[in-house]
Amino acid sequence: MDQKTLEHIVKHEGFEKAAEISTDDLVFVPEYRKFCEENACGNYNKNYACPPYSGTPKEMKQRVLAYRRCIVFQSKTPVKDAFDNAEMKKLKRKHTQMTLQAMKELKTDGMDMDGFPIMCGPCNFCEECMMPSGKPCVKESMRFSCLSAYCIDVGKLAESCNMEIQWSGNEVYYFSIYVFDKKDKSGEIR
Ligand code: SF4
């Protein structure tokens, strides 16, 4: 991915920054799964893209490391109250839409779209996920999980991309990733 295209997408979609890194630079902390289990976000066992349905930390890490590279998107948004869940939910949805739009642009630009996104929040294609009602997922091949579900250390991610990360109460930074460039066809997975 050339820098010019990335800069164009950042500007066009309203991101603060974007960078391409190796998946080897991602830091996985399986112990973070306990935060999902504590269910502060209310999505544990209620969204097909969230734990436990999404897979174990090991399975999710292997899914990512089946690819060589990823593009990291960062957005920076002023907020009224960073601890207001409803406001945060809206902003996460906005960041998700920006990332999906960026993926479309990458595709138009000829990028290998064999990969998948990892978002700042749980899959939100539906207003309410079908899981609690027992109905099947409506976008199984497209649903996405969040960085927390993958147990990815977002602080270290920001550091390796030379991006700021802070939660000042009136400004939030969100991150998402597009993982791409699949390793060899023999399915090399570490
Ligand atoms: S597409 Fe809908 S049903 Fe499937 S995981 Fe996402 S929100 Fe849930």
For the cut 50, the answer to whether the pLDDT of residue 188 exceeds it is no
How big, in percent rounded to 5, are the helix, strand and coil portions of the chain?
35, 20, 45
What's the pLDDT tens digit per position in 144-179?
999 999 999 999 999 999 999 977 678 899 999 999
In short, whether 129's Cβ falls inside 6 Å of ligand 1 is yes
Q: What is the largest CA-CA distance in the chain?
A: 50
Cα(143) to centroid(ligand 1), Å? 6
> Per-residue pLDDT averaged across 128-152, rounded?
96
- Where do the DSSP E strands lie in the chain? 17-22, 67-78, 116-119, 145-146, 171-182
User: What are phi and psi for residue 73, nearest 5 degrees?
Assistant: -110, 135
| 3-class SS of residue 177 | strand
Residue 84's pLDDT band (boundaries 50, 70, 90)? confident
Cα(168) to centroid(ligand 1), Å? 31
Low-confidence winner among 3-12, 124-133, 177-186 (lowest mean pLDDT): 177-186
What's the pLDDT tens digit per position in 86-107?
888 899 999 999 999 999 999 8
